[in-house]
Amino acid sequence: MNAGRKILVVGGGGYVGPVLTEHLLGAGYGVRNMDLFLYATQEVLAPFDANPRFEMVQADHCDRARLAGALDGVTDVVILGGLVGDPITRKYPDAHRVINHDGILGLIDTLDGRGLDRVVFVSTCSNYGLVDGDALAGEDYPLKPLSLYAEAKVAVEQRLLALAGKVDYRPTILRFATAFGLAPRMRFDLTVNEFTREMYLGRELLVYDSHTWRPYCHLGDFCDVIGRVLEAAERDVAFQVFNAGGDTGNFTKQMIVDAILEFLPDAPIRYENKGQDTRNYRVDFAKIRTVLDFEPAYTVRDGISELIKALDDQRFDDADARPNFYGNYEIDYPVAG
């Protein structure tokens, strides 16, 4: 039923993109993937090359001419692109400004007048920064971005929401929880994935501020959410913000460690307080449950279990030799620095 729709996935060569591409192709959409491949991850999209409904454009979304070409003939856009995460944006603030702030805002300015249907912008629950006491952050909770990464996401959200009545497409903002789960471009610099692998390998895991809360969500569930937005009634998702995840995904770091210890009881752990990352927030997912009838299919424990099975199968034995493939650490970009 989606045969007439083609989705441009901006930034589709990273952790989420290949999993989302497979999901969308499986649902009958055409997919055009655009990525600059700052981490040299081209191989993760190679399995789709033989699919006639898949196209690949290697280009920078900051390049207006290449972006305009990539937009030709598409019906919908999913924006994943950018430098993802606090550490990489802190390390490369100039590139962050160009890619995450100016580049994405410029991308948005290019979308109007093309007859697009849905535009899905993937934002982050990190926008909440610090949530007071035992409160749950709903979509209307005050935003307190504590990093360059979150500040740029908030700026893009504000631009999109201010376009109501001024553009011919209907954007939806998804504030993603922290991702986990298996992927062709696996990332071991994300909490659940990192903790599980380090503990599996018997390396002493240093955990900072184990009492801090975050929401976590599996990649498969994120793909489900995006699919639901693409297929929902316009009135339900147009110019709407959704926290993307589920209430059962609100975990402290200690709770994650404890869940892994159920599988790996002898793993060595060390704890320290007052780490660099001061974020602490639990999130309310009532809106996405009510409006899109979404509940996560995967738990944190499911993610731990599947990763341990993959490690048993030696799927990631090259991770130490290819750190920049398995994490966002180094980039080569004209203004990097």
158-206 pLDDT, tens digit each = 999 999 999 999 999 999 999 999 999 999 999 999 999 999 999 999 9
CA distance to 85, 164, 232, per residue, from 49 (Å): 29, 37, 29
CA 108 to CA 100: how far, in whole Å? 12
* Radius of gyration of the chain from its Cα atoms, rounded to whole angstroms: 19
pLDDT average, residue stretch 324-333? 95
Cα gap 83→329, rounded to integer Å:
10
- Tell whether 106 is covered by a domain: yes
Read off the pLDDT of residues 299-312 as tens digits, 9 standing for 90 and up.
999 999 999 999 99
- Compute the Cα dihedral for 132, 135, 138, 141 and give only its sign: negative
36, part of any domain = yes
Q: 255 lies in a domain?
A: no
Query: Helix, strand or coil for residue 44?
Result: helix
Judge whether residue 332 has pLDDT over 60.
yes
Name the DSSP class of 247: G
Tell me whether residue 186 is in a domain. Answer: no
Which tokens is 272 given? 């320290």
pTM, rounded to two decimals:
0.96
Q: Domain with 46 in it: what CATH number?
A: 3.40.50.720
Query: Is position 265 within any domain?
Result: no
Tens of pLDDT, residues 121-148: 999 999 999 898 789 999 999 999 999 9
Q: Give the C-alpha separation, 259 to 192, whole Å.
A: 10
Contact of 181 with 298, CB cutoff 8 Å? yes
Q: Model confidence at 251, in pLDDT bands (50, 70, 90)?
A: very high
Nearest-5° Cα angle at 46, 42 to 184: 70
- Domain with 86 in it: 6-181+216-246+279-298
Q: Tell me the per-residue pLDDT of 252-269, one tens digit each, with 9 for 90 and over.
A: 999 999 999 999 999 999
Note whether residue 51 is domain-resident.
yes
Q: How many independent structural domains does the chain possess?
A: 1
Residue of 213, 176, 244 lying closest to 14 (CA atoms):
176
User: Does 102 fall in a domain?
Assistant: yes
Helix (H) or strand (E) holding 52, with range, is none
Within-domain flag for 334: no
Least confident piece of the model among 72-81, 272-281, 314-323: 272-281
d(Cα 277, Cα 291) in Å, to the nearest integer? 33
Tell me the two tokens of residue 45: 């999209």
